[in-house]
Amino acid sequence: MKEHHTTLEIYNLSLQSWSSLFKELTDLEVLRTEQKKQGLNDFTLLSSVLSVNDEARLHTRFIYALLDPNGKHYQGSRFLELFLNSIGRQDWLDLSSATVRKEYSPNSQGNQIDLYITDGKRQIVIENKLNAQDQKNQVARYLEAVGATDPALADNTLFIYLTKGRQRPSNYGLGTLSICDLSFRLLNAEMQPIAIYQNLSYLRNTSNKSIHTWLEACAEIVEQNSNLAWAINDYRSVSERATREYVSKVETLKDVLEAGIAEGKQYHQQAIQLAKELPAIHASWLDSVLTEQLDKLFQPAINSGFLTKIDVNNSELLEPYIHSVRKGKAAELLYKSKYNYFRSGKGTRNRGSFYLVTAGVFAHRLVLMMVYGTKMLHVGVLLHESELESERKTEAEVKDLGLSELARSNTGFFPFAMTNTEILGDQGILHLADFASSPQKRILEKMMKTFGCI
């Protein structure tokens, strides 16, 4: 017999599902905070200095620094030996005479080889292709530049193609050469072998040889708490970021969603629903503050004649507070629901609500305002153009309001403004959601008191 649910039961099931999701999100934030307190983090020194995709300056040079027997790691040829072992080429070079070069131009004709290793008899050419595409005839040119053209000496040259997924160079990069999949040899136009071919991957999870096998081996042979171990592990983390295999050490929302999917929960569908509805929710919060809640806050002062709200019918009152080049366009700065920041379309930036001080010492000298620009939410005060000569006096009057020093507004609309600023799409909208307890409301209330509006 089929089980039938009443409308109330369906509603309760849905409510329980949403409650479960929000509890998981709350627990996630608690866990993330605790993990961060314990020192877990996703910091890498290398990626804070260079892009994780910087092929030449980061990847090629770091690999060179480890491979070089004369490097300041003072490990001699140990890292080079481990590299050969990791690609299945044990004893392929005489390590006692091996040298390593980076960005090497053997014939000084522009053929710059990323990494070149030789013991005087055998040689390894490593072409690093993290993201870059092959250049015309690149493989053929490089092998010719290092003298790898004699089929009788084909086993003395190893060409390594280091990528994050490509199996072989393109025909454009090979030029007149080809690759034999049976013998793993690079062949010339006469189909004669001139070098050994090997693929090496940046990917950790791959069926091919992975650079991570070598990096892990290097990390294992050095003292675990040494700067060498730290540097190698830092580079491993950078490589994983470059291949998008990195897993955060701190729990993420992605982890919660994937765990929920595995357990048959509807978290992902709910997250999609939230993503669709959030812009409308944010728009309603912003609209409520810029209309109803500001009007409610200022209504007593308006009723007593201390403030006048500026709208389309008296927009000329705003003219003395905007740049001269924008004179006559004050109405374009006034907020309307259809121009809400969180709605799509033209005219949704640089809008706000404005209230002119019309009584007391500061009458017709200041405008209280809440404005959003292209990114930021501003709350504060605009100065009348006649006040610019005595701006320091006015600045002193509001120095305790927590506003920025008098300066030209970044929006390019107001000559002088003193504001408190937040990113609207982040902390700003969260504060507006609870406007009654927001810093924006506290600032406006303090301004009204300072300027004698209450």
Task: Confirm whether 273 is domain-assigned.
Answer: no
pLDDT of res. 264? 74
The verdict on 201 and 286 lying in the same domain is no
The verdict on 201 and 309 lying in the same domain is no
Task: Confirm whether 100 is domain-assigned.
Answer: yes
The verdict on 86 and 230 lying in the same domain is yes
The verdict on 64 and 163 lying in the same domain is yes
Query: What is the rounded radius of gyration, in angstroms, for the C-alpha atoms of the chain?
Result: 33
CA dist., res. 127 & res. 315, Å (int): 66
Query: Is 200:211 a contact under the CB 8 Å cutoff?
Result: yes
pLDDT of res. 124? 98
pLDDT tens for the chain, residues 1 to 454: 445 555 544 445 455 766 776 777 777 788 778 877 787 788 888 988 999 999 999 999 999 999 999 999 999 999 999 999 999 999 999 999 999 999 999 877 778 999 999 999 999 999 999 989 999 999 999 999 999 999 999 999 999 999 998 999 999 999 999 999 999 999 999 999 999 999 999 999 888 899 999 999 999 999 887 899 999 999 999 999 999 888 888 778 777 777 777 777 777 787 788 788 889 999 999 999 999 999 999 999 999 999 999 999 999 999 999 888 778 889 999 999 999 999 887 878 899 999 999 998 889 989 999 999 999 999 999 987 665 555 555 555 665 666 775 445 444 788 888 888 999 999 999 999 999 999 999 999 999 988 887 7
Task: Confirm whether 272 is domain-assigned.
Answer: no
The verdict on 321 and 203 lying in the same domain is no
pLDDT of res. 7? 54
Tokens of 367: 């405008």
The verdict on 292 and 237 lying in the same domain is no
- Owning domain of residue 203: 49-242
Buried b (16+ CB within 10 A) or exposed e, 21-53: beebeeeeeeebeeeeeeeeeeebebbeebebe
Tokens of 90: 């044990």
The verdict on 67 and 197 lying in the same domain is yes
Length of the chain in residues, anyone? Answer: 454
Task: Confirm whether 274 is domain-assigned.
Answer: no
Query: Is 401:395 a contact under the CB 8 Å cutoff?
Result: no
CA dist., res. 319 & res. 9, Å (int): 58
CA dist., res. 298 & res. 290, Å (int): 12
DSSP 361: T
pLDDT of res. 19? 75
pLDDT of res. 13? 47
The verdict on 183 and 312 lying in the same domain is no
Task: Confirm whether 62 is domain-assigned.
Answer: yes
The verdict on 156 and 69 lying in the same domain is yes
The verdict on 13 and 133 lying in the same domain is no
CA dist., res. 410 & res. 179, Å (int): 59
Task: Confirm whether 295 is domain-assigned.
Answer: yes
CA dist., res. 275 & res. 205, Å (int): 32
pLDDT of res. 10? 42
Its pTM surpasses 0.85:
no
CA dist., res. 27 & res. 7, Å (int): 30
Task: Confirm whether 1 is domain-assigned.
Answer: no
Per the structure, the count of domains in the chain is 3
The verdict on 129 and 235 lying in the same domain is yes
SS3 at position 261: helix
Task: Confirm whether 421 is domain-assigned.
Answer: yes
The verdict on 436 and 377 lying in the same domain is yes
